[in-house]
Amino acid sequence: MAYQLYRNTTLGNSLQESLDELIQTQQITPQLALQVLLQFDKAINAALASRVRNRVNFRHNYTCVWACVCE
């Protein structure tokens, strides 16, 4: 299952607002809007996974010291 993290981006919010408007005007069903959002989740995750080369990892040790490692 794709993560829904990117729904809170400008693009994701705009998509949700547009889908809500289409639902309110009865141009699409709520089920279709959900399918569109799920496809958006899959597409944005796949695009970022294949096109972004930099990674950020957060690591901690037993003394609760956190380190941000940028690769």
Phi, psi of 49 (to 5 degrees): -65, -35
Q: Is residue 28 part of a domain?
A: yes
Q: What does the alpha-carbon distance between residue 18 and residue 50 come to, in Å, rounded to a whole number?
A: 27
Q: What's the confidence (pLDDT) of residue 57?
A: 65
Residue 31 within any structural domain of the chain: yes
The per-residue pLDDT for 5 is 78
pLDDT of residue 63: 63
Instruction: Examine residue 58 and state whether it is found in any structural domain, yes or no.
Output: no
Domain count across the chain = 1
Q: Is residue 67 part of a domain?
A: no
In the prediction, which pLDDT does 8 show?
A: 86
Q: Which residues in 16-25 are b (16+ Cβ under 10 Å) and which e?
A: beebeebeee
The parts of the chain modelled with pLDDT lower than 50 are none
Q: Is residue 17 part of a domain?
A: yes
Amino acid 46: pLDDT: 87
Within a domain: residue 24?
Answer: yes
